Amino acid sequence: MLQDLKLRQKGILIVALPLLTETIFVAILVFLQQSAEAEAQKMFYSKMIIGQTQSVVRTIWEGGANFTLWGFTHSPSFEQRMMKGISEVPHELNELKQMVKGNSIQEKNVIEMEKAVNTAVDTLLHYKKRMMSGEHYILTHEARMMVTDHLRAIVTSAAAIHRQEMNYQEMHPEKTQQLRMAVQVWLLVGLILQILLTFGLAIYFGRNITDRLATIAGNAQLLAEHRPLRRPIEGTDEIAQLDTVFHKMAITLAVASQRERAIVDNAKDVICSLSEDAVFKQMSPAAKQNWGYDPIDLISRPFLDFVADADKERLQRVLNEAKQQKETAISVDIRMVRNDLSEGWMLWSIYWSPPDESYYCVAHDISDRKELDQMKADFVNMVSHDLRTPLTGMRAFLDSLNAGVYGELNKKGANASTRIQSSLGRLVNLVNDLLDVEKMEAGHMEMRFGTYNLKYLIDQSIDMVKGFADEQKVQIEIGEIVEADVLADIDRMVQVLQNLLANAIKFSPKGGTVNVTTELEPGYVKVNVTDRGAGIAEADIAHIFDRFRQVAPSKTGVKGGTGLGLAICKAILEQHNGSVGVKSQVGEGSTFWFRIPGAQKPEKTT
């Protein structure tokens, strides 16, 4: 039942029980103290009763003596003394009654004494009256005998009161001693019981709490060692609730561990841990599939033993760098030597854990991607060397042929040469686009930044497409141009604006107009190219800047190109810390815009 109490209730119990026990003992001691005081009070009243009784007897005796002296001398002073004493007797008897009130025996004795006193007083007053009438005191032998008898009765009743009180006083020391002993015994018993109770409660609850906390601490150690926990702690207090939560947490962790183990065991990527000196400590089953080694064969073997010689130094450098990182992993491509001695590329993600002094790694096989990259590189080299070079030579030959270097061509030959030259130009542009895309993906697109006037950039771009606009019978109108400088690679930015203008011309109807305008924005310059073509559907706008994406010819009525131009424009602008976008409505045309940072604070001119 005590285990069902909350810790706060147990704490209250530890304090309340000793306090209650102490209160009981204090009450007993108070009772004993009050009993002792009552006994002392009784002793005091006993002595006062004896004294008061003696005072009454003395008063009567003095009254009798004064009566006798008055009888012989008839002196007024003896008469006054006698009468004064007689008058004081009732008062002294009342005081005596109050003292013995509650004591039936003494009350009876006092009543007997009061009767004797009253009789004696009445007798004295009777014979005093007779003597005052002329009867001589000496002749009243009867009076002397009567007074003596009454006084004897008074003394007898007083002796009874005195004897009763003396008996009590003889018993008082024994009662006082008993009370004193009782106080001492209860003090000793209370002290011992208080100590035993306090220490007993402290030991019981201390062991109850510490033992159960030790059980939880032991369960924590067992959990860390992946061993079964001890049985749950009984009770409903906070410690039992904590243990219940701990067991639930252990179950949750076990389930999570099983899931994690299942993920690791079934993952295609290799998951492992390394010691500080790069020795395999743990290895997932994926090592068999990726490298041809059983995981157990790799444990306690150096990582570098399975790395291609050309990558060992780079791997060691990356491992050292990983130790310097905080809460981040480092990625590196490494060639691993398989069991069949072939090499395969793995993308390693390496994280250093200072508390565990271990590396935690995930390795993903990227051999196929590396082969694809190599194929792409070979293709680019082929395009660059085996295709673009001959095309450039053919283009130079056609330029010379049209210039009449090899003689004049007739009209038919000139037209054929022009068509071939145009097709050759488109083929060269396609090759250049492919090379730009490759550079963009590889991050090798070089930029040569300089400060250029915005108007110069626009004029250069328009000059590049003016011939194409004339062919398409499309007019280019230049709106207000802000006076501003931009920090840009002039050739690449001309390429961007030329591409946007060429697209606008291509999608404009015959006799249409393409507008070029500029705007100032905080820290940026914005250029807009607007056409009056068929427009772009909203579904196509989201992907218009993706590679190899273009609006279908059926929607625009214009035969499409490679779908690389806008993607290249976006890549160039991103390297300028700029952006590009489009606003379009089907049937009303489109506005392509780009934004690049200004080289200085621009000022608008009119």
pLDDT digits (tens, 9 = 90+) for 137-171: 544 566 566 666 777 777 787 788 777 777 766 66
Domain membership flag for residue 18? no
Average pLDDT, the chain: 80
Mean pLDDT along residues 104-127: 81
Task: Find the length of the chain.
Answer: 606
Report the distance separating Cα 193 and Cα 185, nearest Å. 12
List the one residue out of 338, 335, 355 whose CA is nearest residue 346: 335
433 and 452 together in one domain: no
Q: Is the pLDDT of residue 561 over 70?
A: no
Question: Given 365, 400, 431, which residue is the final one in a domain?
Answer: 365
Nearest one of 578, 548, 583, 588 to 566, comparing CA atoms = 548
Q: Which residue has the higher pLDDT, 225 or 336?
A: 336
**Lowest mean pLDDT, pick from 79-93, 352-366, 369-383, 496-510:** 369-383
Q: Establish how many alpha carbons lie within 13 A of residue 207's alpha carbon, considering only the half-sphere containing its beta carbon.
A: 5
Interatomic CA distance for residues 135 and 145, integer angstroms: 16
Which strand (E) or helix (H) includes residue 223?
A: helix 141-224
Q: What is the DSSP string of 162-212?
A: HHHHHHHHHHHHHHHHHHHHHHHHHHHHHHHHHHHHHHHHHHHHHHHHHHH
pLDDT at 297 (0 to 100): 92
CB 264 within 8 A of CB 271: yes
Residue 590's Cα: distance from chain center in Å? Answer: 54
Mean pLDDT computed over 473-477 = 93
**417 and 507 inside one domain:** no
Task: Name which of 238, 296, 245 is nearest 272 in CA terms.
Answer: 296
Q: Using alpha carbons, select from 533, 478, 537 the residue that is nearest to residue 510.
A: 533
Q: What global pTM score does this model have?
A: 0.43
Within-domain flag for 517: yes
Between 53 and 506, the higher pLDDT residue = 506
Rounded CA-CA distance 80/75 in Å is: 9
Q: What local confidence, expressed as pLDDT, does residue 384 receive?
A: 61
Query: Are 453 and 579 in a shared domain?
Result: yes
The helix (H) or strand (E) run that includes residue 251 is helix 238-266
- CATH number of the domain that 578 lies in? 3.30.565.10
The SS3 assignment for 129 reads: helix
Cβ atoms 171, 63 nearer than 8 A: no
Question: Could you tell me if 349 and 362 are in contact, meaning their C-beta atoms sit under 8 angstroms apart?
Answer: yes
Residue numbers of the domain that contains 453: 447-597
C-alpha distances (whole Å) from 484 to each of 176, 453, 461, 501, 523 are: 117, 6, 17, 21, 11
What is the pLDDT, as a whole number, of residue 454?
92
Q: Is the pLDDT of residue 503 over 80?
A: yes
Measured distance CA(208)–CA(100) in Å, rounded? 61
Query: 511: which 2 tokens?
Result: 């006799």
Cβ(124)–Cβ(172) below 8 Å? no
Tell me the CA distances in angstroms from 290 to 273, 293, 350, 366, 369, one per residue in order: 16, 8, 18, 11, 15
pLDDT of residue 90: 85
Residue 347 lies in a domain: yes
Q: Are residues 119 and 148 in the same domain?
A: yes
pLDDT classification of 605: cutoffs 50, 70, 90 = very low
Whether the CB-CB separation of 567 and 437 falls below 8 Å is answered with yes
Is residue 318 very low, low, confident or very high in pLDDT (cuts 50, 70, 90)?
A: very high
Could you say which of 347, 365, 383 is where a domain stops? 365
Q: What total of structural domains would you count in the chain?
A: 4
CA angle at residue 491 from 489 to 429, to 5 degrees? 135
416-436: pLDDT as tens digits = 777 776 666 666 766 776 676
One domain, residues 551 and 422: no
Token digits for 475?
């007019």
Do residues 421 and 505 both lie within one domain?
Answer: no
Pick the most confident of 218-222, 258-262, 287-291, 321-325: 287-291
Q: Which position has the higher pLDDT, 77 or 414? A: 77
CB-based contact 227:47 (threshold 8 Å) = no
Backbone phi and psi for residue 520, each to the nearest 5 degrees, phi listed first: -100, 135
CA-closest candidate to residue 283, choices 293, 214, 98, 35: 293
The CATH code of the domain that includes 302 is: 3.30.450.20
Percent residues over pLDDT 90 in the chain? 25
| Residue 186 belongs to a domain | no
Whether residue 298 is found in the same domain as residue 398: no
Contacts by 18-26, CB closer than 8 A, 24 or more apart: 18/194, 18/197, 18/198, 18/201, 21/190, 21/193, 21/194, 21/197, 22/190, 22/194, 25/186, 25/187, 25/189, 25/190, 25/193, 25/194
Q: How far apart are CA 493 and CA 284, in angstroms?
A: 51
Is the predicted pLDDT of residue 560 greater than 60, yes or no?
Answer: no
Q: Same structural domain for residues 326 and 395?
A: no
| Tokens 């070979």 -> residue | 378
pLDDT at 373 over 90: no
Residues 542 and 457 in one domain: yes
β pairing state of 524-530 and 589-597 = antiparallel
Of the candidates 432, 501, 434, which has an alpha carbon nearest to the alpha carbon of residue 461?
A: 501
Least confident of 9-18, 285-294, 326-335, 499-508: 9-18
**C-alpha dihedral over 50, 55, 61, 65, to 10 degrees?**
150
pLDDT at 593 over 80: yes
Residue 117 lies inside a defined structural domain of this protein: yes
- Res 249 pLDDT > 60: yes
Question: Residue 88: its pLDDT value, please?
Answer: 84
In a domain, 327, yes or no: yes
Better-predicted residue by pLDDT, 14 or 455: 455
Q: Are 291 and 306 in contact (CB under 8 A)?
A: yes
Judge whether 458 lies within some domain.
Answer: yes
Please provide residue 299's backbone torsions phi and psi, each rounded to the nearest 5 degrees: -65, 135
Sign, Cα dihedral of 592, 595, 596, 598: positive
Model pLDDT, residue 426? 61
DSSP-assigned beta bridge partners for residue 597: 524
Q: Which residue has the tokens 């007897």?
A: 57
What average pLDDT does this structure show over 336-360? 92
pLDDT digits (tens, 9 = 90+) for 381-390: 666 666 666 7
Instruction: Output the CA torsion 439→445→446→451 (10° steps).
Output: 150
**Residue 210 carries which side chain, given as an amino acid letter?**
T
Based on the fold, state whether residues 286 and 388 are members of the same structural domain. Answer: no
From 365, 399, 423, the end of a domain falls on: 365
Torsion angle (degrees, nearest 10) of CA 74, 80, 86, 92: -150
CATH number of residue 56's parent domain: 1.20.120.230
Query: Does the structure show a pLDDT above 90 at 187?
Result: no
Is residue 209 within 8 Å of 239, Cβ to Cβ?
yes
| 392 and 359 belong to one structural domain | no
Do the domain assignments include residue 299?
yes
User: DSSP code of 279?
Assistant: B
Same domain, yes or no: 101 and 64: yes
> Going along 183-339, which residue ranges are E strands?
270-275, 280-283, 330-337
pLDDT value of residue 553:
47
pLDDT tier at 554 (50, 70, 90 boundaries)? very low
pLDDT reported for residue 78 = 81
